[in-house]
C-alpha cells in the first residue's frame, strides 16, 4: 500500500470523482446521442456556383424589391428613380468638379400652322420676321454626363418668367422649378408639366403606358436619328432621337420631360440613356400641333456646375408657389408699330368697348390663351381676363387665338385695328 502523501491523496480523490461521474451518467436513448447537424459549430459549405446574397430592408418608398425582399438594382448599381414629393425639402446635391462635362442644346417650341400676315402694300414683312424671332419660345438646355439636366426659358413669351429653370436628375422622377434669380425653388411632381405650360397651374395628370411604334430613321444636325411614335388618349408625339456624344444618361431626362405632355409614363422604352431627343412633333386628337426642335448642340468640357445642382445651392424651398409671372405682352410698342409702314384710315367702331388705339384682347375661356398678330405671338391672357396690347398702327391685321400646346387653334380672322378681340363666348354688354 502506497504511503498517503499529499500527491497520492490528490490522485485518489480524482479517480473517485471520475468513477462517480461515469456511474451516474444516463444511458442515451436510440439516436439521441447523435450530433445535431443544425447545431454544428462550422456552417455547411456553400453549394458550387452560389454567392452570398445580402438582404437589406426593403425600400418601401420605391418598392424596388422582389418576393424574397432582395433589392433590385438597375445598371451601375443604382436603384430605380424615386418620385419627388411635392413637400420634400431636398438635401444638398453631391455633384463634384469632375461632373461638369456635357452638352448644351439650343432649342425652340413653335407652332407649325400659324396664320400668314395680312396682305397689303403697307405690310413690313422684315419687321414681322424680326418680331417673330424675338417672340419665339426659345429654351437653352444643359445635359450633364453625370445625369443632370437644366432647361432655361430664354424668351418672355412663356407663361413663366424669362430665365425660369427646370432642373432634373437621373435618380428622381419629376422636376425642380427654379426662380429666375436662382434664390428659390419648388417641386413639380411628375405629370404636372402639361398643366403648367398650358394653364400656369400644377395639376397632376396620371401617367400611362404609351403605345409605341418605330417609324424609321433620319439625320438631324449631322447626327443619325431614329424615329418613334408614341400615343395616349391625350395626344401623339413623334420623337426623333440621336446618339449624341458627351450627353451620358441625361438624354433620357429630356425624353421623360417631353413625354409628360401626352401624359406618358417615364418608364417608356423610348427614353433610353443612349438617345437624346432632337425633335418632337405633338399632334392632338381634335386638331392642332406644336413642335419642339433642337437648333444647335455644342459639347462642353465644363458646364456651369453651380447651375446644375438639384436643388440650387442656398435656394429657399417654396412649396405650392410659382415664380412671378411676366407681363404677358412680348413686344414693345415700337416693335408692334413697325408691322405697318403707315397708318390706314380709321374704321368707325361699332362697340363702345373698343379701345382708342391698339387691341383689347379678351379671354372668355377656362384656359390661358395666346393672341397672335400676323402670325407673331403678341400676348398671353389668363382665363376670364383681358389684356391691352398697344402699339399696332391703324390698319388690317391677321388675328388668331390658341393655347400654348396648340390644341385649340382658332381660325385666322382679318380685323381692323383698333379692335376688341374675344376668344370664347362673349358676355353681354
Is residue 83's pLDDT more than 50? yes
Is residue 116's pLDDT more than 90? no
Tell me the range of 64-68, 262-266, 322-326 where mean pLDDT is highest: 262-266
Please tell me the distance from the alpha carbon of residue 172 to that of residue 61, in angstroms, as a whole number: 12
Please tell me the distance from the alpha carbon of residue 125 to that of residue 332, in angstroms, as a whole number: 17
Is residue 37's pLDDT more than 50? no
Which pLDDT band holds residue 100 (cuts at 50, 70, 90)? confident
Which pLDDT band holds residue 427 (cuts at 50, 70, 90)? low
Assess contact for 175 and 188: CB atoms under 8 A.
yes
What's the confidence (pLDDT) of residue 308? 92
Which pLDDT band holds residue 281 (cuts at 50, 70, 90)? very high
pLDDT tens-digit map of 3-12: 555 455 444 4
pLDDT tens-digit map of 173-186: 999 999 999 999 99
Is residue 252's pLDDT more than 80? yes
pLDDT tens-digit map of 184-231: 999 999 999 999 999 999 999 999 999 999 999 999 999 999 999 999
What's the confidence (pLDDT) of residue 393? 95
Domains of the chain: 76-123+136-317 (2.50.20.10), 333-423 (2.60.40)
Q: Average model confidence (pLDDT) for the chain?
A: 83
Amino acid at each position: 500500500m502506497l504511503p498517503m502523501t499529499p500527491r497520492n491523496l490528490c490522485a485518489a480523490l480524482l479517480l473517485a470523482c471520475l468513477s462517480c461521474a461515469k456511474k451516474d451518467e444516463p444511458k442515451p436513448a436510440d439516436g439521441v446521442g447523435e450530433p445535431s447537424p443544425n447545431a454544428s459549430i462550422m456552417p455547411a459549405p456553400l453549394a458550387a456556383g452560389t454567392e452570398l446574397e445580402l438582404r437589406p430592408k426593403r425600400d418601401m418608398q420605391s418598392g424596388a424589391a422582389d418576393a424574397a425582399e432582395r433589392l433590385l438594382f438597375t445598371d451601375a448599381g443604382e436603384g430605380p428613380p424615386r418620385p419627388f414629393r411635392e413637400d420634400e425639402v431636398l438635401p444638398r446635391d453631391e455633384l463634384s468638379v469632375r461632373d461638369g462635362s456635357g452638352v448644351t442644346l439650343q432649342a425652340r417650341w413653335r407652332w407649325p400652322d400659324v396664320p400668314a400676315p395680312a396682305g397689303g402694300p403697307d405690310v413690313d414683312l422684315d419687321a414681322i420676321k424680326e418680331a417673330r424671332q424675338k417672340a419665339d419660345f426659345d429654351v437653352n438646355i444643359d445635359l450633364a454626363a453625370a445625369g443632370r439636366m437644366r432647361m432655361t426659358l430664354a424668351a418672355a413669351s412663356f407663361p413663366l418668367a424669362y430665365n425660369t429653370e427646370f432642373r432634373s436628375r437621373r435618380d428622381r422622377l419629376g422636376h425642380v422649378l427654379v426662380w429666375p434669380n436662382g434664390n428659390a425653388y419648388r417641386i413639380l411632381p411628375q405629370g404636372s408639366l402639361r398643366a403648367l405650360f398650358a394653364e400656369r397651374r400644377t395639376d397632376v395628370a396620371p401617367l400611362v403606358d404609351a403605345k409605341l411604334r418605330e417609324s424609321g430613321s433620319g439625320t438631324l444636325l449631322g447626327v443619325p436619328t431614329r424615329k418613334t411614335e408614341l400615343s395616349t388618349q391625350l395626344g401623339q408625339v413623334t420623337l426623333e432621337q440621336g446618339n449624341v456624344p458627351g450627353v451620358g444618361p441625361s438624354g433620357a431626362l429630356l425624353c421623360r420631360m417631353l413625354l409628360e405632355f401626352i401624359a406618358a409614363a417615364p418608364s417608356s422604352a423610348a427614353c433610353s440613356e443612349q438617345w437624346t431627343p432632337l425633335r418632337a412633333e405633338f399632334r392632338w386628337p381634335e386638331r392642332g400641333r406644336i413642335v419642339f426642335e433642337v437648333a444647335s448642340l455644342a459639347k462642353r468640357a465644363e458646364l456651369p456646375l453651380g447651375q446644375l445642382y438639384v436643388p440650387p445651392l442656398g435656394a429657399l424651398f417654396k412649396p405650392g408657389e410659382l415664380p412671378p409671372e411676366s407681363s404677358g405682352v412680348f413686344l414693345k410698342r415700337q416693335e408692334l408699330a413697325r408691322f405697318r409702314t403707315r397708318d390706314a384710315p380709321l374704321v368707325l367702331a361699332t362697340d363702345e368697348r373698343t379701345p382708342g388705339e391698339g387691341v383689347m384682347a379678351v379671354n372668355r375661356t377656362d384656359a390661358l390663351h395666346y393672341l397672335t398678330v400676323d402670325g407673331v405671338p403678341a400676348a398671353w391672357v389668363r382665363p376670364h381676363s383681358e389684356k391691352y396690347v398697344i402699339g399696332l398702327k391703324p390698319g388690317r391685321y391677321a388675328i388668331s387665338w390658341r393655347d400654348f400646346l396648340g390644341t385649340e387653334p382658332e381660325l385666322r380672322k382679318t380685323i381692323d385695328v383698333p379692335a376688341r378681340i374675344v376668344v370664347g363666348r362673349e358676355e353681354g354688354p
